[in-house]
Amino acid sequence: MTGIRQIAKATAAALTVACAFAAHAQDVIKIGYTADQSGSGVAELGIAGRWGFEAAIEDINKAGGILGRKVVGVIRDDQGTPPKAIQTMQDLIDSEKVQAVVGPANSGNALAWLHIPQQKKIPVVVPIGTATEITTRYAKEPQNYLFRVSMVDREQVSLLAAYAVKASKDKKIAVLADSTGYGQGGIKDATDILALHGVKPVAVEKYGPKDTDMTSQLSKIKAAGADTVIIYGIADGAAQVVRSMEKINYMPVTLGTWGNLSSLFPKMTGPKLAEHLIMAASTTEDSSDKTKALGERVRKNFPTLTTFPCAAQSYDSVMLLAAAMKQANSTDGEKVAAALENLSGVQGVIKTYNKPFSKTVHEGLHVGDFYLARWKDGGVVRFQDDIYKSITSADLKQ
């Protein structure tokens, strides 16, 4: 009998501990963050995104949390590889039991694990990856759980093309892209959108992601008479292109995507040459008092911050998830996803979000939110000239 009593007491004690752990788990809301923070050329973007993510959680908790509960961020490094990215997503959802996820930096990693949160009904807001399919793959499902606050590839090309058409005197525009899937998608977007302007590129050239000399491709572009070039590639490749331009004394108007916000670009080109590239951006630290304040906070952890838009987009992603949970009065994934599609008046650092998402469109930022930026004195600042000021909404063709 004594043995039975001891077993009963031990069982009761175990149940008490289990209940205590369960109650503790229910006291917090977990939001996961997964992105490359160590593995590839976009690790800098993932690190910047992390600090923006953590700043948002800090602000939410200072304001009382969500539904009266503390918010805990669970950070994972996907190391820039799809297999690791799949593993981190499974860990966040199945082991950590997060209620939502923010991430990743790499579009390829997102495309590798999209099916997991979709099947598990866990809302995800992507703050950096730009591939169009991220938010459209499950658009026809009863509920799509993939949202984004970042620059969609085709929409940033829309802004670059609008500027190129106005900047080129004789509409002699060339496209130069890396040979990866990212670059080839960029060639398609650029040529399609230029066609909407009635312009056919005078030259379309490619370079390998490891190439260091693009003078051959640029010589062909120069011979074709191009006075404006759209580069579609990440920072290291674009830097080699600009360096090669200098080698052959050919410096046309040069436009690039926001991946060139990485500090790798000015490190490879030097500060003065870096200023030659004009980039699409969703925000910069000098955009407003809010962006300036966030930039100062993030720099305490990341002094060499250059990819500020990643921090701002991650910050706003968390704020939108928090607003959706409050509106739904729940952390249930299906209810939160539905609430994300019906938000208004959410204060972010990039903008105030009024109906940022709908049932059919899960993109929180659009081409009308974007502007141009460039490197200046080691940082990224807004770029404006008379050409940019003359661009109207009618010029932003897609």
Nearest to 46 by CA among 72, 70, 81: 81
The pLDDT-based confidence of 209 (bands split at 50, 70, 90) is confident
Helices (H), 39-90: 43-62, 82-90
Identical fold, 10-151+287-365 and 154-281+371-395: yes
What global pTM score does this model have? 0.85
pLDDT digits (tens, 9 = 90+) for 361-398: 999 999 989 989 999 987 888 999 999 999 999 999 88
Has residue 7 got a pLDDT over 80? no
Has residue 267 got a pLDDT over 80? yes
The pLDDT-based confidence of 313 (bands split at 50, 70, 90) is very high
pLDDT at 20: 37
Q: Tell me how far apart the alpha carbons of residues 390 and 96 are, in angstroms, rounded to a whole number.
A: 50
Has residue 311 got a pLDDT over 50? yes
pLDDT at 40: 64
**Could you tell me which CATH number the domain at 154-281+371-395 has?**
3.40.50.2300
Beta-carbon neighbour count of residue 154 at 10 Å?
18
Residues ≥6 apart with Cβ < 8 Å to 2: none
pLDDT at 41: 64
Has residue 213 got a pLDDT over 70? yes
Q: Tell me how far apart the alpha carbons of residues 70 and 30 are, in angstroms, rounded to a whole number.
A: 9
Domains of the chain, residue spans: 10-151+287-365, 154-281+371-395
| Mean pLDDT, range 292-301, rounded to an integer | 91
| Mean pLDDT, range 325-351, rounded to an integer | 97
Q: Tell me how far apart the alpha carbons of residues 186 and 232 are, in angstroms, rounded to a whole number.
A: 6
Structure tokens at 211: 């190439």
pLDDT at 380: 86
pLDDT digits (tens, 9 = 90+) for 26-70: 589 999 999 999 976 678 899 999 999 999 999 999 999 999 999
Domain 10-151+287-365 homologous superfamily, CATH = Response regulator (3.40.50.2300)
The pLDDT-based confidence of 248 (bands split at 50, 70, 90) is very high
Q: Tell me how far apart the alpha carbons of residues 393 and 398 are, in angstroms, rounded to a whole number.
A: 11
Winning range, highest mean pLDDT, from 101-105, 258-262, 367-371: 101-105
Q: Tell me how far apart the alpha carbons of residues 132 and 338 are, in angstroms, rounded to a whole number.
A: 21
Q: What percent of the chain has pLDDT over 90?
A: 77
pLDDT at 328: 98
Q: Tell me how far apart the alpha carbons of residues 253 and 277 are, in angstroms, rounded to a whole number.
A: 8
SS3 205: strand
Element containing residue 229 per DSSP (H, E): strand 228-232
pLDDT at 368: 87
pLDDT digits (tens, 9 = 90+) for 177-195: 999 888 888 999 999 999 9
Has residue 21 got a pLDDT over 80? no
The pLDDT-based confidence of 292 (bands split at 50, 70, 90) is very high
Query: Average per-residue pLDDT in the chain?
Result: 91
pLDDT at 211: 96
Instruction: Give the least confident one: 63-72, 104-113, 191-200.
Output: 104-113
395, with CB counted inside 10 A (0-12, 13-18, 19+), is middle
